[in-house]
């Protein structure tokens, strides 16, 4: 017998038109939410576009107190750009360079940096000329992911990644090294156990004076009472009298055997004139030895004192090797090329400014991207061994090596320019003295190997701004001075 089929179900009622519409709207909303979320999460974002045009800005002292250096250093950057562009440029495109004058003024330097970033879209800044100006540019560079590389800001203050976040480098050595050399010379070579320090009131004077004091203490010496003493800096409208400062430092008990002075020629001249005038009333001062920083390694310091009948025969000082003409092996040929191009010889730090551009260009070429972050990430790699050696005017060879995937090591006009993780290069130093004809001469040489050994000996704490001796500041607290160091004009 055949099985009976179940009766068919009754047909469903058709869905209403309104219900279908709401379902469609709900689907559209869900899809829209998913798409928006995907965009925010980067699911559909294209890879970031690489920057193929290297844009560099300079903030240098074309006018103001450091104009003697700023103009020539700008020429150095222009020379490097011209050579690189003539040899194919960076990433196949010419470098674009834009210049700003900081007027040797810290606030103007910061404004110039902001203009370069907002108006010209630069990825890197070469500058500033003085440490006071550098202090105001650093935060601008950090906040905008722009690399700052200075050819002449030497304050130890910048050897600090907490401050710079790695966005600052330089092609001139930090005064942290000079402070160690000066302290070692005073304590070890001259056998002095007690020292005092006088430093002018800016980032340069504060940094080097404090570093000397720390290093001298680490070597076993004593920094005497009221030292390091930070004193006013000469301005165009103010010529300080340093007699009060000299009395505070030299009449300490026990008295210092040697005084390290961090100053520039106008300040140094005034200080030594005040010392000479007060010597008759303070006969015990006659045994004091004077040791100076590189800021007064200049005939503009010696000649006015000789004219004023001040005895300069026992004056000595410290300075980076380049100040004494002990340049790298490539400097001579580079100097000839520079002189041919501009009709004048380069001045101090011009080769360093030239090298700064080459390092920026090499970092961008290696990265395949001319953005600030990519330059920052590759700057140390292109300046240090190992790798194919790259030399001034050698851009074509550099491009060939980098295109082949090789590492490069830039050997610059100013020297090897091997920068460390803090962005600092190394340097040898000289001790200078004054000859019988009242001219400056080299007395001793501290090669790089010896400087490296001394830095290791005194320890990292001694070359930082974490002072072991509180600076005595005329007219302001030590804390106020260190804050002011960010905005005050300085030479280097």
Lowest mean pLDDT among 229-238, 240-249, 290-299: 229-238
Q: CA angle at residue 347 from 362 to 437, to 5 degrees?
A: 145
* pLDDT range class, residue 481, cuts 50, 70, 90: very low
Q: Which residues contact 182 (CB under 8 A, 6 or more apart)?
A: 212, 215, 260, 291, 293, 318
Instruction: Please check whether residue 424 lies inside any domain of the structure.
Output: no
Answer yes or no: do 215 and 305 share one domain: yes
**Number of folded domains that form the chain:** 2
180, 166: one domain: no
Same domain, 235 and 331: no
Backbone angles phi, psi at 491, to 5 degrees: -80, -60
416 found inside a domain: no
Calculate the dihedral angle through the C-alpha atoms of 356, 337, 129, 266, rounding to the nearest 10 degrees: 150
Same domain, residue pair 188 and 305: yes
Per residue in 349-386, pLDDT (tens digit) is: 999 999 999 999 999 999 999 999 999 999 999 999 98
**Does residue 488 carry a pLDDT above 50?**
no
pLDDT of residue 484: 31
Domain of 128 in residue numbering reads as 55-172+327-410
166 and 217, same domain (yes or no): no
Per cent of the chain over pLDDT 90 is 69
Whether residue 422 lies inside any domain: the answer is no
Write the pLDDT tens digit of every residue in 82-140. 999 999 999 999 999 999 999 989 999 999 999 999 999 999 999 999 888 999 999 99
Note whether residue 44 is domain-resident.
no
Which of the listed residues 353, 385, 410 is the one where a domain comes to its end?
410
Asked if 335 and 298 sit in the same domain, the reply is: no
DSSP string across 41-86: HTSSPPPPPPP-S-EEEEEE-SSSTTHHHHHHHHHHHHHHHHHHHH
301 & 232 share domain? yes
pLDDT of residue 56: 98
Is there a single domain that holds both residue 85 and residue 155? Answer: yes
Domain final position from 384, 410, 436: 410
Would you say the C-alpha torsion 323, 325, 326, 327 has a positive or negative sign?
A: positive
Read off the pLDDT of residues 411-435 as tens digits, 9 standing for 90 and up. Answer: 999 988 999 999 999 889 999 999 9
Asked whether residue 73 is domain-assigned, the answer is yes
Across the range 176-192, mean pLDDT stands at 96
CATH of the domain at 71: 3.40.50.2300
Is residue 437 included in any domain, yes or no? no
Give the end of a domain, one of 348, 383, 410: 410
Q: Which two tokens stand for residue 124?
A: 């890197």
Q: Does 168 share its domain with 68? A: yes
**Does 146 share its domain with 247?**
no
Residue 40 domain flag = no
Q: Based on the fold, state whether residues 124 and 201 are members of the same structural domain.
A: no
Closest to 124 in 3D by CA, of 106, 152, 156, 149:
149
Identify the burial level of 366 via C-beta atoms within 10 angstroms of its C-beta, where 0-12 means exposed, 13-18 middle and 19 or more buried: buried
The answer to the question of residue 142 being in a domain is yes
| Residue linked to tokens 């040797």 | 104
pLDDT of the residue at 132: 87
Confidence of residue 13 (pLDDT cuts 50, 70, 90): very low
Distance set, CA 157 to CA 161, 214, 317, 416 (Å): 10, 14, 21, 23
For residues 185 and 284, state if they share a domain. yes
32-72, pLDDT tens digit by residue? 665 555 555 554 555 678 999 999 999 999 998 788 889 99
């Amino acid at each position: 017998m055949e099985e009976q089929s179940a009766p068919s179900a009754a047909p469903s009622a058709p869905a209403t038109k309104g219900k279908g519409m709401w379902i469609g709207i709900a689907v559209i909303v869900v899809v829209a939410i998913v798409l928006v979320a995907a965009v925010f999460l980067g699911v559909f974002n294209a890879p970031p576009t690489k920057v193929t045009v290297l844009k560099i800005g300079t903030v240098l002292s074309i006018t103001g107190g450091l104009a003697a250096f700023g103009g020539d250093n700008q020429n150095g950057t222009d020379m490097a750009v011209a050579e690189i562009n003539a040899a194919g440029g960076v990433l196949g495109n010419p470098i674009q360079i834009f210049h700003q004058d900081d007027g040797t003024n810290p606030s103007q330097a910061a404004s110039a940096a902001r203009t370069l970033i907002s108006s010209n879209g630069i990825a890197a800044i070469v500058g500033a000329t003085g440490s006071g100006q550098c202090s105001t540019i650093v935060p601008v560079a950090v906040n905008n992911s722009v690399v700052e590389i200075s050819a002449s800001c030497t304050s130890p203050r910048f050897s600090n990644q907490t401050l710079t976040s790695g966005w600052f480098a330089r092609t001139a050595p930090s005064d942290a090294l000079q402070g160690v050399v000066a302290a070692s010379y005073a304590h070890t070579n001259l056998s002095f156990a007690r020292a005092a320090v006088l430093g002018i009131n800016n980032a340069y004077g504060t940094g080097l004076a404090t570093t000397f004091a720390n290093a001298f203490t680490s070597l076993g010496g004593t920094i005497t009472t009221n030292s390091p003493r930070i004193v006013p800096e000469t301005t165009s409208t103010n010529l300080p009298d340093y007699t009060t400062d000299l009395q505070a430092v030299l009449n300490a008990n026990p008295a210092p055997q040697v005084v390290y002075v961090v100053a520039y020629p106008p300040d140094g001249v005034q200080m030594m004139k005040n010392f000479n005038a007060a010597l008759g009333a303070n006969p015990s001062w006659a045994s004091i030895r004077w040791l100076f920083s590189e800021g007064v390694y200049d005939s503009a310091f010696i000649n006015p004192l000789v004219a004023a009948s001040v005895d300069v025969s026992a004056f000595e000082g410290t300075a980076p090797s380049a100040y004494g003409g002990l340049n790298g092996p490539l400097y001579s040929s580079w100097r000839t090329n520079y002189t041919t191009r501009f009709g004048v010889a380069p001045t101090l730090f011009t080769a360093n400014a030239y090298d700064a551009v080459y390092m920026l260009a090499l970092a961008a070429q290696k990265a395949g991207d001319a953005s600030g972050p990519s330059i920052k990430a590759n700057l140390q790699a292109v300046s240090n061994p190992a790798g194919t050696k790259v030399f001034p005017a050698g851009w074509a060879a550099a491009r060939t090596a980098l295109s082949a995937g090789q590492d490069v090591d830039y050997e610059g006009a100013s020297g090897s320019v091997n920068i460390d993780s803090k962005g600092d290069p190394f340097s040898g130093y000289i001790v200078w003295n004054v000859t019988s004809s009242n001219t400056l001469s080299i007395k001793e040489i501290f090669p790089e190997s010896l400087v490296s050994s001394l830095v290791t000996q005194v320890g990292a704490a001694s070359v930082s701004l974490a002072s072991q001796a509180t600076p005595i500041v005329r007219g302001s607290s030590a804390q106020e001075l260190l804050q002011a160091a960010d905005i005050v004009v300085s030479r280097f």
